[in-house]
Amino acid sequence: MDSDHFVHINTGSSEPIYRQLVEQVKRRVAAGQLRAGDEIPSVRDLAQSLAVHPMTISKAYSLLESEGVLERRRGLSMVVAAQHQRAQSAADRVELLRPTLHQAAAEARQLQLTKIQALNLFKTILDESAP
């Protein structure tokens, strides 16, 4: 597995690096970009390509294993777990977006914005990121 482009991290974010990795891998598995049995980059490779300490990568991988997303193969690279083999349906993937949008809706309400205003901003941002 190519360790470049596997995930992106933002070292400036307050979100810990290991958690950024966990969330991105989970989304990519849900989206079907990573399939059951796919090898993921080794701890050392990914650590080097992200310029991060190997233990940070290892921590993320361990968490993903404990959540059943990855499987450990002794002495070998880790792979995407079988029970996550099927990419989730669009309906399921949409649900994974709910928490963040729920937060956005709460903020919009506190800002006393209309639904139209909030939706228009979201549409604008979506167009910016993938015009």
Partner DNA sequence: GTGGTCTAGACCACA
Partner DNA sequence: GTGGTCTAGACCACC
Q: Which of 30, 50, 64, 81 binds a copy of itself (CB under 8 A)?
A: 30
Under the binding rule (CB under 7 A), the answer on residue 56 touching DNA is yes
Per CB under 8 A, contacts with a copy of itself among 47-66 are 53, 66
Stretch touching a copy of itself by CB under 8 A, among 31-39, 41-49, 78-86: 31-39
What residues contact 61, with CB distance under 8 A and at least 6 apart? Answer: 40, 43, 70, 78
Q: Hey, which bits of the chain come out as E strands?
A: 70-71, 79-80
Give the three-state DSSP class for 53: coil
Under the binding rule (CB under 7 A), the answer on residue 78 touching DNA is yes
Under the binding rule (CB under 7 A), the answer on residue 52 touching DNA is yes
Q: Distance between CA 2 and CA 23 in Å, rounded?
A: 19
Q: Distance between CA 100 and CA 112 in Å, rounded?
A: 18
Q: Distance between CA 87 and CA 92 in Å, rounded?
A: 9
CB 64 within 8 A of CB 30: no
CB 66 within 8 A of CB 73: no
Q: Which of 24, 26, 27, 42 binds DNA (CB under 7 A)?
A: 42
Under the binding rule (CB under 8 A), the answer on residue 68 touching a copy of itself is no
Q: Which of DNA, a copy of itself, none lies near 30, with the C-beta cut-off 5 to 8 A by kind?
A: a copy of itself
**Which chain residues interact with a copy of itself by CB under 8 A?**
16-17, 23-24, 27-28, 30-33, 53, 66, 74-75, 90, 93-94, 96-98, 100-113, 115, 117-119, 121-123, 125-130
